Amino acid sequence: MKYFLLACLGVFALGVLSLFIGVSDVTPMTLLDPATSTHAFEMLMVSRVPRTLALVLAGAALSVAGLIMQMLVRNRFVEPSTAGTVESASLGLLVVMLLAPGLPVILKMLVAAAFAMAGTAVFLGILRRVPLRSEFIVPLIGLMLGGVIEAGTNFFAFRYDLLQSINAYMIGDFSAILRGRYELLWISFGLTCVAYVAADRFTVAGLGQDFTTNLGLDYRKVMALGMVIVSLVTATVVVTCGVIPFLGLVVPNIVRLVIGDHLRRTLPWVALLGAALVIACDIVARLVIAPYEIPIGTIMGVIGSGLFLYFLLRRRGYGE
């Protein structure tokens, strides 16, 4: 608990730091100087605070979504971007662009969530039918499924000249976050809280169907609850800031190595570390080619794929 509070303070400090990074002149000095404070304060409230909040909310929720998925699929290598979930959400957005471009953003998100859920269901359906001789097969199937869906999305996006619009969703980017354009992410925060309340159910489900039934829980209900949370979180994040790849994979695995899989204990850490990693990546994204920005999805892709490889190649523990 002491460590957790310390870590919270650390993330808070990181968040404050991220408030003062950017092109426009917002620093503690300009905020205090009467000549510039009005403008600086407005910048802070309209752009910087929403951006940092969006980073925290998206980072925490996506990491927790990855954690839940790993428990329910019982595989350490799945997360929304290695299971076809993210690609299905994007397909949903393309369908909205084609058929009902004027839809309010919340309905767009719900359509994307419905597609995400369907895509994840297809993924789980394939897993049930394929003999899983190695745990690496699971993310491979997910990546292939995601690739197929993405190819279909790209084909139709190309046909209807929407490639650029859809690509904006495919690569995570927080540079367009302003007040009024990130509030949807509070939904994913709410879902993260729901996940915490149901943490023990997810841990039990992570022991497998037999253990779950033995302990008196309805396995299918727990699975359904988890998949609804994962799909909604994925959809809200993709709609507001785009795909942040590998986040849900890297963060839970780091936490697992240190404190294991008891979700009641690990879930707050996963949320916190996810937020911290996204803030840090966003700071890097804003600094490397300042005054321009690299999309955070790119930075996360580089760091995340490196860590993903590390976990794949890491030697397994005794007795496995």
Partner 1 sequence: MIEVSNVTKSYGGSEVVRGVTSSLPANGVTSIIGPNGAGKSTFLSMISRLLPMSSGQVTVDGMDILTADGDAMAKKLSILRQDNHLTARLTVRDLVAFGRYPHSKGRPTSEDLAHVERSISYLGLDNLTHRFLDELSGGQRQRAFIAMVLCQDTKYVLLDEPLNNLDMKHAVAMMQLFRRAADELSKSVVLVLHDINFASCYSDLIIAMRDGKLVRQGAPAEIVTTANIQEVFDLEARVEIVEGRSIVHFYL
- Can you give the binding site for partner 1, defined by CB under 8 A? 71, 74-76, 135, 199-200, 203-204, 206-211, 213-218, 256, 260-262, 264, 316-320
**Given the complex with partner 1, which of 11 and 205 has the nearer CB atom?**
205
Examine residue 131 and say whether the peptide bond preceding it is cis (omega within 30 degrees of 0).
no
Neighbouring CB atoms inside 10 A of 19's CB total 18
Token pair listed for 65: 């979504």
**68 and 230 in contact (C-beta within 8 Å)?**
yes
The least CB distance from residue 213 to partner 1, in Å, is: 6
Tell me the residue length of the chain: 320
The least CB distance from residue 1 to partner 1, in Å, is: 17
Cα separation, 98 vs 317, in Å, equals 50
**Given the complex with partner 1, which of 97 and 270 has the nearer CB atom?**
270
The least CB distance from residue 199 to partner 1, in Å, is: 8
**Given the complex with partner 1, which of 159 and 220 has the nearer CB atom?**
220
3-state secondary structure 170-186: HCCCCCCCCCCCCCCHH
The least CB distance from residue 144 to partner 1, in Å, is: 21
Cα separation, 49 vs 43, in Å, equals 9
Gap between the terminal Cα atoms of the chain: 31
**245 and 296 in contact (C-beta within 8 Å)?**
no
C-alpha to C-alpha distances, 129 to 68, 103, 190, nearest whole angstrom? 22, 37, 34
**200 and 263 in contact (C-beta within 8 Å)?**
yes
The least CB distance from residue 68 to partner 1, in Å, is: 12
**Given the complex with partner 1, which of 99 and 316 has the nearer CB atom?**
316
Neighbouring CB atoms inside 10 A of 284's CB total 15
The least CB distance from residue 69 to partner 1, in Å, is: 13
In the DSSP assignment, the letter for residue 133 is -
Closest CA to 310 of 246, 244, 243: 246
Cα separation, 206 vs 146, in Å, equals 24
**Given the complex with partner 1, which of 149 and 204 has the nearer CB atom?**
204
**Given the complex with partner 1, which of 182 and 202 has the nearer CB atom?**
202
The least CB distance from residue 7 to partner 1, in Å, is: 20
**83 and 227 in contact (C-beta within 8 Å)?**
no
- Strand segments, DSSP code E, in the chain are none
The least CB distance from residue 46 to partner 1, in Å, is: 42
**Given the complex with partner 1, which of 291 and 317 has the nearer CB atom?**
317
**Given the complex with partner 1, which of 161 and 320 has the nearer CB atom?**
320
**Given the complex with partner 1, which of 159 and 262 has the nearer CB atom?**
262
The least CB distance from residue 303 to partner 1, in Å, is: 23
